[in-house]
Amino acid sequence: MSGERVLLVTGGSRGIGAAVCVAAAREGWRVAVNYASNRKAAEDVVRAIEEAGSVAIAVEGDVGSEAGVKAIFSAVDAGFGRLDGLVNNAGIVGPPQRIDEISAERLDRMLRVNVTGSIRCAAEAVLRMSTRHGGRGGSIVNLTSIAAVLGAPGQYVDYATTKGAIDTFTVGLAREVAAEGIRVNAVRPGIIDTEIHASGGLPDRARDLAPSIPMQRPGTAGEVADAILYLLSDKATYVTGAILNVSGGR
Ligand code: NAP
């Protein structure tokens, strides 16, 4: 059990983030459920956490803006007064486009949410968790993607590039704070059956791509959550800087 430990999950209202929130609650974490705009979904996750016997708050905030990041961490400070874990899960895709079709606005937003948002949230977490700053230590798990390795040509090279940056960030930050009580790891999901595909205009993408996946099926949010919970847990006390593929062999 994780006792009174507090976990912040960015993008905790739906998909993989929501599965992490509920799985973490079952392991005794108190949970801050961040969302961008879907308050109802976040409140449903809070209710599921309470039904699992733990405590949660819904925290509005856009990780793609500095004001949003500040608001998220202020709400965690006010609600729980401590932080022990961060899952940098909030992320976006766009509709399939070649690089010569992608607008500057889309690229800017993708970088701000997927890269700057994750780095800024990690920085705020380090300020609260690092023994260098008087904290108790903690654990950070970043969501990257198997797209970081495959490059996603013809679909979303911009998205894949943001996840490549998260791979590098994971290794660098892990080494930077390893002696300060903080472990930093990442999971690289493959094709997971969530609403992210519909948000990119391809609602059937997970089913359509199943034949190209060695295991012949998309993964579930719960399967990714299990890997994240392992990396957060005390079963992984000597694991840092690791990037775990959760991709059905893709
Ligand atoms: P999803 O179903 O689309 O859910 C996205 C979540 O992120 C929602 O809770 C959403 O909040 C939140 N969010 C979006 N933009 C945000 C922002 N600017 N600030 C704060 N929260 C924001 O996504 P998912 O499939 O679970 O993906 C989660 C992570 O896994 C992402 O980083 C994604 O890149 C990565 N991943 C997913 C797959 C896959 O196949 N699904 C594969 C590889 C990697 P609202 O509910 O308020 O909109």
Given strand 182-189, what is the order of strands in its sheet? 56-60, 30-35, 6-9, 85-88, 138-143, 182-189, 243-246
Q: For residue 2, what pLDDT is reported?
A: 43
DSSP 216: S
Which segments of the chain does DSSP mark as H helices, in order?
15-26, 39-51, 66-80, 104-111, 117-129, 147-150, 157-177, 196-199, 205-208, 221-232
User: How many CA atoms are closer than 13 Å to the CA of 62, on its beta-carbon side?
Assistant: 10
Q: Which two tokens stand for residue 80?
A: 């729980």
Looking at the CA of residue 39, tell me the nearest atom of ligand 1. Answer: 47
159 is catalytic: yes
Q: What is the pLDDT along the chain (250 residues), one digit of tens a residue?
A: 345 899 999 999 999 999 999 999 999 999 999 999 999 999 999 999 999 999 999 999 999 999 999 999 999 999 999 999 999 999 999 999 999 999 999 999 999 999 999 999 999 999 999 999 999 999 999 999 999 999 999 999 999 999 999 999 999 999 999 999 999 999 999 999 999 999 999 999 999 999 999 999 999 999 999 999 999 999 999 999 999 999 999 9
State the distance from the centre of ligand 1 to the C-alpha of 191, rounded, in angstroms. Answer: 13
State the distance from the centre of ligand 1 to the C-alpha of 225, rounded, in angstroms. Answer: 13
Say if ligand 1 is within 6 A of residue 161 CB: no
* Phi, psi (rounded to 5 degrees) for 5: -60, 150
Model pTM greater than 0.85? yes
Is the C-alpha dihedral spanning 241, 63, 115, 156 positive or negative?
A: positive
Q: Which two tokens stand for residue 113?
A: 């949410």
Q: Are 115 and 170 in contact (CB under 8 A)?
A: no
Say if ligand 1 is within 6 A of residue 62 CB: yes
Q: One of 156, 159, 230, 238 is an active-site residue; which one?
A: 159
In the chain, what are the domains? 6-246 (3.40.50.720)
Looking at the CA of residue 218, tell me the nearest atom of ligand 1. Answer: 40
